[in-house]
Every structure is written in structure tokens, then in C-alpha cells.
Amino acid sequence: MIEYIYGNLIIKESNYCIIDVNGIGYRINITNNAFDRLSDIDNKVKLLIYFSVSENSQDLFGFFDNVERDLFLMLISISGIGPKTAINMLSSVTPEEFKDRLIAGEVKMLTMIPGIGPKTARRIIVELKDKFSDSDGNELPLENNTKNMDAYHALQSLGYPSNKINYILNEIFKSHSDLETQDIIKKALQLLK
């Protein structure tokens, strides 16, 4: 897996950029947020990467921070939402705005995002709303969510089922919201045994 790409920014367009790394130009799909934060042409840049391989294509998707990439990963985990739809969704709003719309259950606002109809908007809200709020319905900050998502992906790669992982991570967060990712994983592994 490719974690990030660091190199010279050669081309910068609204939905993609090309980064030269030792003579190889990588075309990377980006959000409008990433476009706004990219430096000028011919400067060094670093983008976090999601590498998508499908039957017909191989695509790179670039993000400036883990918050945006983790939200992207959450979106593509939903049935019917692929990487290109997810990147379009994140190009329409900031991660914070998207999270706020989700928590508020704003189907109408989500349908204003290109590629999202009412049915998909409801599915997104149902599947992701609990990841942005605790059991009492209180909003969780994105930084805590990023830690939980990192822990979630680590536990998932170890073969644990999603429903158990979500339950355990919610329990851990209720009593230990200040833990770092590695400590969350250790605690989760103890509880999953």
C-alpha cells in the first residue's frame, strides 16, 4: 500500500495534481480542500494516498491530512459509494461541514452534493452518524474519530468483525477519550479476547 507521495508539484488542477517523484509523474485525484492547500507549482508537496484498484482502472486519491482521508475511507465503506463519488462529496464541503450535516441528519443538504440522491444520503446518515457521536448523542471531535478509525482499521486487519470493533471502541471512548491510537488498540485487544 502507498501511504503518501512526496515530490515536486508539476501540475495543479481543481480535481487532480501531478507530482514528480524521481522522474515519475503520479496523477493524483484531489478534493477542492486539498487543491486550496497545495503549494505553488515546482515546490515540494506531500499528500497522504489512497490507492484504488478496480477491474478497469488504478487510481490515486490524495489528502492533506488523516481527517479527510479517514472520512473518505468511511464513505467508501458504504455500499454504493465508490472512491470517485466519495472524492466528489469531500470536494463539496469541508470534513467538519460534512460531519455537522451527518450529525444533524440533513438529508436535503447531503443531496445537494453531486452524486448523492435521497436514498444514498439516508444510507450515509444511518451508517456513519454513530461514528461521529457517542452513546448519549454528543458530537465527537474529528481528531478522536481519526484515532478511533486508525484503531478500527488495525483491528479489522487482524480479522475482528466490524460490529464487535465498533462496540468495543465506543466503550473505550466513553471512559478513556484521551488515549492515543496505540493505547486504544491495546485496550481493545484486551476486551476482544
CATH number of the domain to which 172 belongs: 1.10.8
Residue 142 in this model has a pLDDT that exceeds 70: no
Q: Of 21, 45, 64, which closes a domain?
A: 64
- Tell me the C-alpha distance between 16 and 60, whole Å: 10
Q: Of 114, 132, 150, which closes a domain?
A: 132
- Tell me the C-alpha distance between 150 and 71, whole Å: 11
Output the pLDDT for position 146.
Answer: 64
pLDDT in tens, 51-90: 999 888 999 999 988 889 989 998 998 888 889 989 988 8
Closest CA to 35 of 15, 10, 49: 15
Q: Which domain holds residue 33?
A: 4-64
> Is 52 in the same domain as 87?
no
Contacts of residue 24, defined as CB under 8 A and 6 or more positions apart, other chains included, come to none
DSSP 8-state code for residue 178: T
pTM of the model: 0.68
Output the pLDDT for position 133.
Answer: 58
What is the CATH number for 80? 1.10.150.20
DSSP 8-state code for residue 118: H
Secondary structure of residue 185 in the 3-state scheme:
helix
> Is 71 in the same domain as 47?
no
**In the structure, what pLDDT confidence band is assigned to residue 181 with cuts at 50, 70 and 90?**
confident
Find the mean pLDDT for residues 146-155. Answer: 74
- Tell me the C-alpha distance between 89 and 13, whole Å: 17
Amino acid at 186: K
- Tell me the C-alpha distance between 137 and 116, whole Å: 25
Instruction: Specify whether the CB–CB gap between 3 and 48 falls below 8 A.
Output: yes
Amino acid at 130: D
Instruction: Specify whether the CB–CB gap between 31 and 50 falls below 8 A.
Output: no
Q: Of 48, 64, 80, which closes a domain?
A: 64
Q: Total structural domains in the chain? A: 3
> Is 27 in the same domain as 51?
yes
